[in-house]
Structures are given as structure tokens and as C-alpha cells.
């Protein structure tokens, strides 16, 4: 099925909030988020990790701020990075007030966990005064005791009931600048919870399958869970939770969005699984190019196919493509066969051609924006 025959995803209507300069909801591009896993008090390491996340295109970064020392570190971190930061705070409302003073872009705090009403009001008033949105984040693993007892297990209904309690608190305080997540490690539970919640509130939803797993299994679980929701139009931001380097979370996040043709960043490689017909080493070529071209952000489809069985067809439908041939492979650009590439120079030649094309497309996009 070609891209223009694909069913159009109709996004769920939601309100709009801004996390720093990033718009969330109401049709804004789905934002890709990650979270640092360094000690927040180690400012240098945390800043370096946030910068690595920025290089792979992250839109929002969450940093946990468990103590007042971490809040002081947060102040220094915030001064050294440009991507909007979300502070993850549990229970201690004073930390929320502190990071607000230090310029936090979003508070991830559940109002129901803050305690007394005057403390909740203090945090919400501060968020309102400073234009800081809140993210309510409910996890299946940490539901309130009475909800656990009522439902017996963390069902989708139980998770949503917990989320709506926090939402009610903000509603009563007339605060609507928030987004909500209802995460579970079980794909079906999380998906159903999001579906239920999507019908009950108008705010943006932050998607995630929590504690999804290691790099491979977590990516698969997230792709299935988030993919089901995104295909239904549900979700305004997302995080792929992996027990791996956080930059992997961002790459998988973009891959999920790219697979659904929701949002593209960088090169979408189309490669065959290879077999004895391949005329050059497809797998090592794709791996090498993925690494070498990580810095390219211009969206483009590049097909790398080992022989003429599927090569020309895929190449004709891609921005650039090669179809394996003996010694030399056919090279295609914008749906036309334009030359050949020596198989033993495949990686270097393709890298150069992809870079040149990315530059050309980027210039065209800029020219259009100027017009």
C-alpha cells in the first residue's frame, strides 16, 4: 500500500498546553519525551545526558527531583540546556515550588499525593502564576490503597478512577493546563486505560507503557501498545520506557511515529531481510549507514535492497534507493533509475548521496518557509 492510500489517522480532539516552547495537544506534532537516569545531583553527567538526548531529537526531557539538593542541581542543569525540562516530583510540594522558581517547564506531580489542601493550592497557584503546566501521571503499580481494594487488581477502570481523582482536584481549582498519563506495564491494560480516559477528559494525553523492558522487548511492547493508541488517534506526547540508554527511547519513539507516518525525523531505511540472492552485504550496509547518518534530521525514505527481486520496486517508491546487481547496483532517485554504484563502495557512496540529498531537501524546506 503506498503512503497516499494509507488510512488517515484522525487525532482525538484535545486542548492545547505548552511545555516550554513545545505545543502539546490540539493537533500539535506528537512530542517525543525521555527521562534522564543519572543522579540529578551530578549536574555534569545529567547535562551531558540531556545534550545527548537533544542530539537525537528529543522534544522534552523529564528529570527526577527527589530532594532539595536535587532541586538546587536542577537550577544549574536548567541553565545549561535548551530543551524544555519536566521535573518529576513525588509528595514534597516545597520541591515543586522551588523548581518552579528555577524555571521548570512542567511539573510532573499528582495533586492527590501532595497532602493538605493548602499545599495543593500553593502548587497550583504557583503553576498558574508562572504558566507552568502539570502532568498527572498514574501508574498501575502505585494506585491508592482504597482503589486497589475496590478493584482487587490494577484494572483499566481502577487506573482511570485514580487519574480522575487527580483531575477533579485541578478542576475544582479551575486549573486546566495539564496532561495525563495512565501507564501500565501490561499492554492491554494500558491501552484500555487510555481509551477510557480519552473519552472522559479533554486535556492532552501522554502515552507510555511503563517498565516496558530492555532495549528489544521494551521497544516491541511500546510499539504495539503505543501503536494501537496512536493509530486510533489517541496520544499527544509519548515516552518509550526502556531499561537502556535514554537516547534509545527517543530513537524508538521516532521510529514508532515514523512507522505510522505520523511524524518523520531523519532517514526511514527500508531494507530487505537478505537471502542468498543478495549482491552486496545489505545488513552491514544498513547498520553502518544508520550510525553514520544519525545526525540527519531531514525526513526521507531510503531503500537498500539486495537484489532485483524487490529492489527496483522499493527504490522507485523511495527518495533514494539501491537495487542489488552483480558488481554494481542500480541507484534510484525520486522514482527514476539514475545510475549505478560499485558494490564495494556502497557505504561511502550512499552516505555521500544521502547527505547531498538531505541538504537539498532541507534547503527546499527552508526556501518554502521563507516564501
Which residues contact ligand SF4 (rule: CB under 6 A)? 272-275, 277-278, 305-307, 309-311
Cβ at position 308, least distance to ligand SF4 in Å: 7
Cβ at position 270, least distance to ligand SF4 in Å: 11
Q: Give whichever of 47 and 305 is closer to ligand SF4, judged by the CB atom.
A: 305
Q: Give whichever of 89 and 272 is closer to ligand SF4, judged by the CB atom.
A: 272
Cβ at position 333, least distance to ligand SF4 in Å: 19
CB-based contacts of 111-119 (< 8 A; 24+ apart in sequence)? 111/136, 111/166, 111/169, 111/170, 112/144, 112/165, 112/166, 112/169, 115/91, 119/93
Q: Give whichever of 48 and 310 is closer to ligand SF4, judged by the CB atom.
A: 310
Cβ at position 318, least distance to ligand SF4 in Å: 14
For residue 307 the three cell numbers come to: 537484489
Residue 305: which H helix or E strand, with range?
A: strand 300-305
Rounded Cα distance, 84 and 54, in Å? 10
Q: Give whichever of 274 and 287 is closer to ligand SF4, judged by the CB atom.
A: 274
Cβ at position 337, least distance to ligand SF4 in Å: 16
Cβ at position 305, least distance to ligand SF4 in Å: 5
Helix axes 68-80, 43-55, angle to 10 degrees: 40
Q: Give whichever of 100 and 270 is closer to ligand SF4, judged by the CB atom.
A: 270
Q: Give whichever of 110 and 278 is closer to ligand SF4, judged by the CB atom.
A: 278
Cβ at position 166, least distance to ligand SF4 in Å: 51
Report in angstroms the alpha-carbon separations of 337 from 331, 353, 361. 6, 14, 19
Residue 125: which H helix or E strand, with range?
A: helix 117-129
Rounded Cα distance, 153 and 173, in Å? 30
Q: Give whichever of 122 and 317 is closer to ligand SF4, judged by the CB atom.
A: 317
Residue 14, strand partner residues: none
Can you tell me which residue has the cell 527531583?
Answer: 65
Closest CA to 268 of 337, 321, 218: 321
Q: Give whichever of 262 and 316 is closer to ligand SF4, judged by the CB atom.
A: 316
Helix axes 68-80, 93-101, angle to 10 degrees: 20
Q: Give whichever of 204 and 321 is closer to ligand SF4, judged by the CB atom.
A: 321
Cβ at position 128, least distance to ligand SF4 in Å: 58
Are residues 63 and 43 in contact, defined by beta-carbon separation less than 8 angstroms?
no
Cβ at position 269, least distance to ligand SF4 in Å: 14
Cβ-Cβ contacts under 8 Å for 256 (sequence gap 6 or more)? 222, 223, 226, 227, 230, 238, 240
Residue 61: which H helix or E strand, with range?
A: strand 60-64
**CA quadruple 195, 200, 206, 209: dihedral, nearest 10:** -40
Q: Give whichever of 133 and 324 is closer to ligand SF4, judged by the CB atom.
A: 324
Residue 182: which H helix or E strand, with range?
A: strand 178-183
Are residues 123 and 111 in contact, defined by beta-carbon separation less than 8 angstroms?
yes
Cβ at position 251, least distance to ligand SF4 in Å: 24
Amino acid at each position: 500500500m503506498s503512503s497516499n492510500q494509507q488510512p488517515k489517522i484522525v487525532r482525538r480532539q484535545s486542548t492545547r498546553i505548552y511545555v516550554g516552547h513545545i505545543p502539546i495537544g490540539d493537533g500539535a506534532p506528537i512530542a517525543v519525551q525521555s527521562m534522564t537516569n543519572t543522579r540529578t545531583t551530578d549536574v555534569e553527567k545529567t547535562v551531558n545526558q540531556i545534550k545527548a538526548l537533544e542530539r537525537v531529537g528529543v522534544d522534552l526531557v523529564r528529570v527526577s527531583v527527589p530532594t532539595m539538593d536535587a532541586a538546587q542541581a536542577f537550577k544549574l542543569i536548567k541553565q545549561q540546556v535548551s530543551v524544555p525540562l519536566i521535573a518529576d516530583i513525588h509528595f514534597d510540594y516545597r520541591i515543586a515550588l522551588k523548581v518552579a522558581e528555577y524555571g521548570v517547564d512542567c511539573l510532573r506531580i499528582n495533586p492527590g499525593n501532595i497532602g493538605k489542601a493548602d499545599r495543593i493550592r500553593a502548587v497550583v497557584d504557583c503553576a498558574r502564576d508562572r504558566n507552568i503546566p502539570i502532568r498527572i501521571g498514574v501508574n498501575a503499580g502505585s494506585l491508592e490503597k482504597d482503589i486497589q481494594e475496590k478493584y482487587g487488581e490494577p484494572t483499566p477502570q481502577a487506573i482511570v478512577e485514580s487519574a480522575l481523582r487527580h483531575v477533579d482536584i485541578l478542576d475544582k481549582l479551575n486549573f486546566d493546563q495539564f496532561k495525563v498519563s495512565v501507564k501500565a506495564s501490561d499492554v492491554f491494560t494500558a491501552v484500555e486505560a487510555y481509551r477510557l480516559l480519552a473519552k472522559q477528559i479533554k486535556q492532552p494525553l501522554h502515552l507510555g507503557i511503563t517498565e516496558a523492558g530492555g532495549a528489544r522487548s521494551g521497544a516491541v511492547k511500546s510499539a504495539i501498545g503505543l501503536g494501537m493508541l496512536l493509530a486510533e488517534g489517541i496520544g499527544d506526547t509519548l515516552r518509550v520506557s526502556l531499561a537502556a540508554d535514554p537516547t534509545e527511547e527517543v530513537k524508538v519513539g521516532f521510529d514508532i511515529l515514523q512507522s505510522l507516518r505520523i511524524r518523520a525525523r531523519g532517514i526511514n531505511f527500508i531494507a530487505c531481510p537478505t537471502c542468498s540472492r543478495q549482491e552486496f552485504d545489505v545488513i552491514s550496509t544498513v547498520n553502518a549507514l544508520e550510525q553514520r547518518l544519525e545526525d540527519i534530521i531531514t525526513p526521507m525514505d531510503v531503500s537498500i535492497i539486495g537484489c532485483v527481486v524487490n529492489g527496483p520496486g522499493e527504490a522507485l517508491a523511495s527518495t533514494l534507493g539501491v537495487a542489488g546487481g552483480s558488481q554494481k547496483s542500480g541507484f534510484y532517485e525520486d522514482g527514476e533509475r539514475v545510475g549505478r554504484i560499485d558494490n564495494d563502495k556502497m557505504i561511502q557512496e550512499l552516505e555521500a548521496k544521502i547527505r547531498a540529498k538531505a541538504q537539498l531537501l532541507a534547503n527546499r524546506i527552508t526556501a518554502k518557509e521563507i516564501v
